[in-house]
Amino acid sequence: MLQTWQDLTIVALTVTLIVAVVVIAWQQRSLIQARYLANHDVTTGLPNRRAVTAYLRKALRKGRPTGLVLLDLDRFKSINDTHGHESGNDLLTEVGRRLSGITAPAVFAARLSGDEFVLVVDGGHDQTAAVAHAAARIIARTPISLGHHDAHLSASVGFATATLGISGRDLLRAADIAMYQAKRYGRATVYGMPPTTEQPGIGRGPRYRDLRRDTADGYPTTSFPHNKEYPPHG
């Protein structure tokens, strides 16, 4: 009888240990999944805004030259309304795949929201400008297949750079201002903000492109595929 109770006790402890291991493993997987979802976009699998701001916070704290390229897809709403939400998601996923293929000095591509994407660049103005133009070209290079229809896509692209003295939020706002300026000049346009630690007109408040306001400074823009040059303004 004593041996039987000992055997039962060993079995019970073994089962308890197995259950505990399974529960811990499940909790770890859940935690990893939760962390992943907190920093990634569900539709495209790209890093999200939270991941971008976290990277910028670390990079700018270290004083590393950093650039942002912000892209807004032209006519995406029309494509989404015409061909449906699923086709719109397929298009966003393909755009994300194309942008992720851009190599150094681009660090990674992310989806901010809707049809807005961003490329984080490890470098100054020239490197960021090169990535911005590469992004515009790679999006417009070939149509995106949506089953029975090919979507010819382009993007309005703005970029900004920073060294010391600017926060990640302000750098995002500077890139947003530049992207709105690109929209003002027409579709498939690249526009760059001057490389400075204190961008003009940047501060708290609504996003500039939502307010439909102008900026004071900027670099020339280039339109794709016509390669039309716009002069600086202001």
- Active-site pick, 115, 122, 150, 176: 115
Residues 6+ away with beta carbon under 8 Å from 165: 197, 198
Say if residues 162 and 128 touch (Cβ distance below 8 Å).
Answer: no
Say if residues 193 and 159 touch (Cβ distance below 8 Å).
Answer: yes
CA atoms of 31 and 218, how far apart (whole Å): 44
End-to-end CA distance of the chain: 95
CA atoms of 43 and 177, how far apart (whole Å): 26
CA atoms of 126 and 138, how far apart (whole Å): 18
Q: How does strand 155-162 pair with strand 189-192?
A: parallel
Say if residues 177 and 191 touch (Cβ distance below 8 Å).
Answer: no
CA atoms of 22 and 28, how far apart (whole Å): 10
CA angle 170, 180, 159 (to 5 degrees): 55
- Decide if 214 is catalytic: no
Structure tokens that stand for 91 in this block: 């298009």
Catalytically annotated residues: 115
